[in-house]
Structure 1
Amino acid sequence: MPSPIGDSESLQIFDPLPPIKAIADNPEIWPGVLFWAKGKGEAFVPAAHAEELFIQLSREFDHGVEALSAVMDKYNSTLDGVRSNQILHLSDLHFGTDEAQHHEAYFETWLGHILPAMDRVVITGDVFDSTREVDFWAFDRFYRALSNACPKDPILVPGNHDQRVYGLKFGKLGEDTRFLSRIAFHPGVLADDDLRCVFLLFNSSEGQDFARGEVSIDQRRRVATQLLTEYKRSPQIAEYSRIALVHHHPIPYSPQEARPIQKGLKGLFMGNEKYIEMRDSEEFLKWCAKRDVPLILHGHKHLPRHRLEGIFENGRFLREITAVGCGASLGKGTGRLAYNVVKWHPEAERWSAKFFSGPIDGSEFSEDFVTLYRGTLENRPG
């Protein structure tokens, strides 16, 4: 689990039980077999080792659940040196709002407990609510706290609220790009040798009116140029995993979509795309497919989301791309705090995304949804 159907498979699980979480925590093991003793632990085993562990467990069937749990714990201890990469995905913080002011201290404290297990933090835009000094400085303090708690600075792409007055513009009216340089954003390429990953960074709010977005031909060409330059400087990064970061959702929402991932949401504004969509999103997806980008992380709609799409051009299949959206991390307009954890194995296109949310009273974060993807790195284009 998961096993391939055709070339790849995506498995989606709502409100996962603890044993199922072991699968998402170990993408380097896929395909594998899950063993568990109710309430007493679990072990997720590579398929090649499943029979061996089953034989060990069968010897303890007459000795009770505790004995079975001990066998699984012993097996799990042998995996301590095997570790996948983990990214903490935040989005739509909207500093300057009452929600951000009231929820920041708790959310930051909670993150302090999980950050030691994370390799990198990414933030996909709308870091403040409007282009005001007070909003910028509120976010800057949070960003510096994250930087101090992590071995590397968080990676950031901007949203429409970071360069438009309250996220809206019409022509030049409402456009305000003063803060783009201050949040140190430049469209381009960021290679992380420790993660064996290349992040492709886009500003989807350069053009369009209202809250709409677009990744222009010019921006795609600039990112491609920098990517080729980085290949020449460091040839090894051509083999790294590639993840695109963008604010606007590249795959449109529709009223017919499945139930929302996040608990407590009812699919609000699911089909209201007219003023918030990403224009020419099909071209952006085709660009990502041709550049062999299997994963896009985004925000914008304040709805946690997972979509796997086959990308075609003139009837020719290019590749599958998954878009993972994060909810409003500080609860703007939703009443729930949200973050995602993306985990992958650098040697193969195997990854999981886990979606977490929690009520604003600080009672508990829950793991609402897990998606697992197993693909292939064959036929990687240059």
Structure 2
Amino acid sequence: MTFDFINAIIHLLYENPDVFITTLFSSVQTHHEMKKWMMNQNIDFQWLKRIKEDDLPLLTGRKEVIQIEALLRMDIQGELDAFIVKNRSETHYLLFPGKDQENPINQCFIDKSYIQALQKQCSGMIFYPQEPFDEDRYMFSNPAHSLMQALFNADQWPGILKIHDDEICFIPIHSKEEIEAVILNEKINQKKQDETFFIHLSDLHLGSKKHNSGAAALIRALDNLYPSLPKDNQTKILITGDLMNSPNRKNMYLASGLMNDLKKRYKADISFILGNHDVIVHGLNLLRVQKAKVVAYLLGENIKVLEKEKIILIKINSAYEGNLARGKVGIQQLEEIDEELSAITDLDSYQLMVMIHHHVFPIDKADFLKKKWNEKKVLSKIMETSKELVDSDLLIDWLEKRHVQYILHGHKHIPYFRKYHQFYVVSCGSSCGYLKESRMKYLSYNILKYDNQTHRMKVCLICYEAANGNEGRRIEVHLFK
């Protein structure tokens, strides 16, 4: 809850004051907790003191400053503007604890008296949590863009996010002395990170009216994301199938047009594979000639070498033989991939990463998402059978023998992160379609951070973007061990 309050203040200072209002009046209980927290942070608004308890039921659920002003007949915006002018030019610090509660740094981060002593030595605000993180995943609602640098570097927590106007810097912390050096603006020698960011998209289904409009929403979301990514790194975009809703000439042009737009817009390198909708006309694999044309047009190499990252992308076509929504890889395809891999010198020095459309292991929706009628217990097992990869055991055995660690897929439109044995499995939802919550709809995509020095994935961000672009986003942060 504390981070929701911190996020609200950062939004107020730098981005969207309405997020501050939305958080403050999300419920009566949250309102009281946030007021108490702001008092502890020495954030004082006179208009808040004039709100009576009887007013709160009327104010709860309001999302805009202008709505609160109209109901209370107060000049709220003027006081908020004065707060912004006073504080925006200062340097502010956000403390991000790590998972290890025994870490002395985490103990410093939640020691109220220690932070208050530091606060006296700087003019900006120091935001700190009530307790260290202790979950395997972190969920953030409507995180300010300023916070993205900290989320990208979740593998390096504990650390401090330093914000001075538009300058944002995340600094990993290893000692109490480093905390004090950052707050006192002393120089700390930081190791330069050599990282690559992958944007994982899937299930675009271009050709339907809903998904075509979803493509515009996706571009808006990526436009907001792109400035947060490191400037000295070429973005890699991975698309795990179902570029089209049904394979025809018009939809092929739509898919090709979107990929060209992504390439130019973000100076990105794009890799993609096919899904069942890319090769099957409206559910039935009948039009063999049509299918052959699409495969010839879209399907490229079985493997792609990323030399800088020392990654070999293995692009498995799980839609080539399957009917309906079921997938199949086939032993012949795996033998062809083996033949290509055997031609690579020093293969052991590369990290193998698989792109496939169909899910190899079972997956579930996030708890906050609404489950459809056909996802209830018994029915879900029947529906699952109609979508599964029929030779998954064959594929798993093949992957294990080749020491593959990372599997990226789509197909079920469910974002997902899980480790099975040696495999990290990352599923992407529909990047142009929508997942439903009780009140909202989300498109989704994933962001993966890869360390080029250790040749390991470090962080996975599962991003849920509101369909209308105004209701914000949710981000789940997962760490690769």
**TM above 0.5:** yes
Q: 1:266 aligns with which of 371, 375, 384?
A: 371
> Aligned residue for 2:294?
179
Counterparts of residues 121-200 of structure 1 (less than 5 Å) = 121-169=237-285, 176-183=291-298, 185-200=299-314
Query: Does the Cα contact within 8 Å between 1:201 and 1:246 map onto a contact in 2?
Result: yes
State the shift of 1:344 in Å: 1.4
Instruction: Give the counterpart letter for 2:172 in structure 1.
Output: V
> Aligned residue for 1:292?
403
Instruction: Give the counterpart letter for 2:458 in structure 1.
Output: W
Instruction: Give the counterpart letter for 1:363 in structure 2.
Output: N
Q: Deviations over 1:208-249 (max 9, x none)?
A: 32210022111112112111212x3xx3x5312221000001
Query: RCO higher in 1 or 2 (8 Å CA, sep ≥ 6)?
Result: 1
State the shift of 1:36 in Å: 6.6
Identify if the C-alpha distance between structure 1 residues 115 and 37 changes in structure 2 by more than 3 Å, giving closer, same or farther: closer
Q: 1:13 aligns with which of 115, 138, 142?
A: 138
Q: Deviations over 1:279-334 (max 9, x none)?
A: 12132123222212211110000111112101xxxxxxxxx101101111011575
Q: Does 1:242 align with 2:242?
A: no
Aligned length: 330
1:23 and 1:286 map into 2 onto residues whose CA distance is 37
Q: 1:26 aligns with which of 139, 153, 157?
A: 153
Structure 2 gap ranges (5+): 1-97, 101-134
Q: Does 1:330 align with 2:420?
A: no
Instruction: Give the counterpart letter for 2:137 in structure 1.
Output: Q
Question: Counterpart of 1:182 in 2: which secondary structure?
Answer: helix
Question: Counterpart of 2:335 in 1: which secondary structure?
Answer: helix
Question: Counterpart of 1:260 in 2: which secondary structure?
Answer: coil
Q: CA RMSD in A?
A: 3.3
Question: Counterpart of 2:254 in 1: which secondary structure?
Answer: helix
> Aligned residue for 1:63?
none
Identify if the C-alpha distance between structure 1 residues 223 and 106 changes in structure 2 by more than 3 Å, giving closer, same or farther: same
Identify if the C-alpha distance between structure 1 residues 187 and 11 changes in structure 2 by more than 3 Å, giving closer, same or farther: farther
Instruction: Give the counterpart letter for 1:224 in structure 2.
Output: D
Q: 1:343 aligns with which of 449, 457, 471?
A: 449
Tell me the percent identity.
Answer: 22
Identify if the C-alpha distance between structure 1 residues 331 and 174 changes in structure 2 by more than 3 Å, giving closer, same or farther: farther
Q: 1:50 aligns with which of 161, 175, 182?
A: 175
> Aligned residue for 1:223?
337
Q: Does 1:90 align with 2:204?
A: no
Choose between structure 1 and 2: higher strand proportion. 1
TM-score by length of 2: 0.61
Question: Counterpart of 2:419 in 1: which secondary structure?
Answer: strand
State the shift of 1:181 in Å: 2.0
Query: Does the Cα contact within 8 Å between 2:304 and 2:313 map onto a contact in 1?
Result: yes
Instruction: Give the counterpart letter for 2:302 in structure 1.
Output: G
Choose between structure 1 and 2: higher helix proportion. 2
2:366 and 2:256 map into 1 onto residues whose CA distance is 31
State the shift of 1:71 in Å: 4.0
2:419 and 2:266 map into 1 onto residues whose CA distance is 30
> Aligned residue for 2:26?
none
1:147 and 1:291 map into 2 onto residues whose CA distance is 31
Question: Counterpart of 2:447 in 1: which secondary structure?
Answer: strand
TM-score by length of 1: 0.75
State the shift of 1:109 in Å: 3.7
Counterparts of residues 302-381 of structure 1 (less than 5 Å) = 302-310=413-421, 320-331=422-433, 334=436, 335-348=441-454, 349-374=456-481
Instruction: Give the counterpart letter for 1:138 in structure 2.
Output: L
Identify if the C-alpha distance between structure 1 residues 239 and 220 changes in structure 2 by more than 3 Å, giving closer, same or farther: same
Q: Deviations over 1:247-267 (max 9, x none)?
A: 0011123xxx5x516x54337
Query: Does the Cα contact within 8 Å between 1:187 and 1:203 map onto a contact in 2?
Result: no
Query: Does the Cα contact within 8 Å between 1:197 and 1:346 map onto a contact in 2?
Result: no
Bigger shift: residues 285-294 or 265-274: 265-274
Query: Does the Cα contact within 8 Å between 1:165 and 1:174 map onto a contact in 2?
Result: no
State the shift of 1:34 in Å: 3.4
State the shift of 1:100 in Å: 2.0
Query: Does the Cα contact within 8 Å between 1:99 and 1:332 map onto a contact in 2?
Result: no
2:178 and 2:213 map into 1 onto residues whose CA distance is 49
Bigger shift: residues 210-219 or 278-287: 278-287
State the shift of 1:173 in Å: 7.7
Higher Cα radius of gyration? 2
State the shift of 1:340 in Å: 0.6
Identify if the C-alpha distance between structure 1 residues 294 and 24 changes in structure 2 by more than 3 Å, giving closer, same or farther: farther
State the shift of 1:136 in Å: 1.4
Question: Counterpart of 1:14 in 2: which secondary structure?
Answer: strand
2:302 and 2:449 map into 1 onto residues whose CA distance is 23
2:352 and 2:449 map into 1 onto residues whose CA distance is 13
Identify if the C-alpha distance between structure 1 residues 36 and 268 changes in structure 2 by more than 3 Å, giving closer, same or farther: farther
Query: Does the Cα contact within 8 Å between 1:202 and 1:246 map onto a contact in 2?
Result: yes
> Aligned residue for 2:325?
211
State the shift of 1:84 in Å: 1.6
